[in-house]
Chain A
């Protein structure tokens, strides 16, 4: 069974001259124009810049040269990826108007692969959230049901792919921010192994957990995008200096003989319909020749707590630089301390303030060891727990999220409940491992369900080839229908 390759198909059409990159772009810009009023996937559509890029791609083709594997493929970027001269806001007032003087490494690599970047997608402010509702610029809606959230924090990127605005998008995943919205929007999203994709130019949330990854309509497209953006970067000290596995070529290898562990802890807290889809996916893998057994990794149940100590701790430090001195918002005051306070209080939203305070608290004198250092020890336990599971099986399978997409506004008043929607994705970030979410049918409410494949470090090839089998067995998902021009 072969995973569909729409982006490869598109790129090949442009490379061969059968289609022009400009035409492809205009088609997608028209879709965005007609549909994004209801979805609000984009903070900014860079149509003119995209046209210039598309023209350049077509010129390259006419000159008899190869623009690259993503020739003319429209790609959306999460608005925490730095783009030279193009506003990069992290959906925060504090960065409104900031135009970075440099491109993120991934942006540079997309450019060199011939991709056409169409705009910056909405997100939870500074990637802190699970619904894209903490954006300072208003929430993104789920294209499958605009009364529902798309998940988050990469909700804009997931919604843009689900709505058909772009075939590919980049997101960032600190605790599930690619996989959770991918699941809720019915698309494929992968968080790669920590260190395989450069973080240079990704505005930091929690540096030891952040990782950029692909969102796409199919497993093969996600693999293609990962192959383009991955690989060592000397500008990121945590970038792994070893050959990153090329994954696209191994996708069709099948799962015969592979051991798949159905992760008990992830099933325990999930809704029955989500559990049912996950078990169906497991049966599909067994039918394809995998050996499936239930596996318990008790340590993962500590993941959520550890994450909400580690990530805010790092974030409180990463977000200190927004002080009104060098760039972005300044609210004036008589002295610099007052100016810092006024700027930060006006520029950050409630969720960001909460996490900065939580992080400042857990790092402060007297609490550091009980909270932050203790969470780092839990991290060790989680890694050990996974290591023991991976001695028994090649990959782990579980739901990506405990529920399908929830209504807009349902959880905004209760941070802890919101945090719980990341319970199945967080352990992977703490371990630094890769995981991919693949759509598998719908819940009782008719909304997409995503199942997740987890593997040890650098096992992208393995989890993606298992994901391809799940994808092939999944019930078809009806594409979202957006009422043209109707704004919500």
Chain B
């Protein structure tokens, strides 16, 4: 197994877009180099043959952690909305939406 190709500037721009980050040209340049370096370092992992090895997402294996269907007190609405940058009519106000959720 070989690692993926080296990270490009376009990919970094695409990733910044997915992550809702705006980068200046200088930042884009800098981050592309730095991230590529980290990914190059990770090539030791990416190139290992680990066929048949199960991935571990949770270090401690537990299952069926559940809570009873019992109502707990809600937060005070004024306290919640008091933290928001913009509120109208007891709702969180956001600028224009350009479309539905993806």
Contacts and interface: CB of A to CB of B under 8 A. Distances in A.
B20 A337 contact: yes
Interface residues of B, number: 53
Interface in A341-369: 341-342, 344-345, 348, 350, 353-354, 356-358, 360-361, 364, 366-367
Nearest to A308: B38
A333 B95 contact: yes
A274 interface: no
A60 interface: no
Nearest to B43: A305
Contacts, number: 180
A330 B62 CA distance: 39
B76 A101 contact: yes
Interface string B11-55: 110011011111100010001001101110111111010100111
Given A330-B85, A371-B42, A431-B59, A360 B4 contact: no
Contact of B95 (A308, A334, A373): A334
A348 B53 CA distance: 36
B71 interface: no
Contacts of B15: 357, 360-361, 364
Contact of A323 (B20, B23, B42, B67): B20
Given A353-B21, A371-B46, A358 B84 contact: no
A336 B92 contact: no
A249 interface: no
Interface stretch (A15-23, A109-117, A375-383, A477-485): A375-383
Interface of A: 98-99, 101-102, 193-195, 208, 234, 237-238, 240-241, 302, 304-306, 308-309, 316, 320, 323-330, 332-342, 344-345, 348, 350, 353-354, 356-358, 360-361, 364, 366-367, 370-371, 373-381, 383, 415-416, 419, 430-433, 457
6 contacts: A342-B22, A344-B20, A354-B31, A357-B35, A360-B18, A378-B45
A381 B94 contact: no
A324 B85 contact: yes
Contacts of B79: 101
Nearest to B13: A357
A419 B57 CA distance: 22
A466 B55 CA distance: 32
B45 A98 contact: no
Interface string B50-83: 1001111111101001010000000110011001
Contacts of B53: 377, 380-381
A353 to B, nearest CB: 6
A336 B22 contact: no
A220 to B, nearest CB: 26
A374 B60 contact: no
A238 B19 contact: no
A338 B95 contact: yes
Nearest to B32: A357
B93 to A, nearest CB: 9
Contacts of B95: 332-336, 338-339
Contacts of B43: 305
A370 B57 CA distance: 16
A82 B22 CA distance: 29
A374 B20 contact: no
Given A194-B60, A377-B55, 7 more contacts: A99-B83, A195-B60, A308-B41, A332-B95, A344-B22, A357-B21, A416-B34
B3 A370 contact: yes
A339 B86 CA distance: 12
A381 B41 CA distance: 18
A356 B46 contact: no
Contacts of A371: 4, 39, 42, 45-46
Contacts of A333: 95
B20 A367 contact: no
A297 B45 CA distance: 16
Given A101-B80, A334-B95, A378-B45, A416 B50 contact: no
